[in-house]
Amino acid sequence: MLCILVANGMAGAQQREIPQALEPWKGWVLWGEQHPDCPTPFNTSEQHICAWPSRLTLSADQDSGSWRIQVRVFEDD
C-alpha cells in the first residue's frame, strides 16, 4: 500500500495581521503563551492543536489501494 504524508510546515510563515500601533505590545501580549500559532478547540483554550489533518484521499481498485493525507502544521515540536 502506498502512503504519502504531506506536511506543510507553517512555523512562522503565517502571521496574524497586527496593527502597526500595537506591534510594540506583541511580546507582552504573547508572554508565557506556549503555542501562539496553534488553534484551540471551541470548548477549551487549554488544548492546542498544532497539526491538523486537512485532506484524505483514498484510491482503491480490484488489486490494490492507496491513500494520501495532507496535514497542516502550525508549529514544529
Instruction: Strands of 1-77 (E only): list them.
Output: 2-9, 51-60, 65-73
Report helix, strand or coil for 30: coil
pLDDT digits (tens, 9 = 90+) for 12-45: 434 567 888 988 887 787 676 677 778 888 888 7
Instruction: Return the C-alpha cell found at 24.
Output: 510594540
pLDDT in the model for residue 10: 37
What is the structure's pLDDT at 41?
A: 86
- Contact residues for 51 (Cβ-Cβ < 8 A; gap 6+): 7, 71, 72, 73, 74
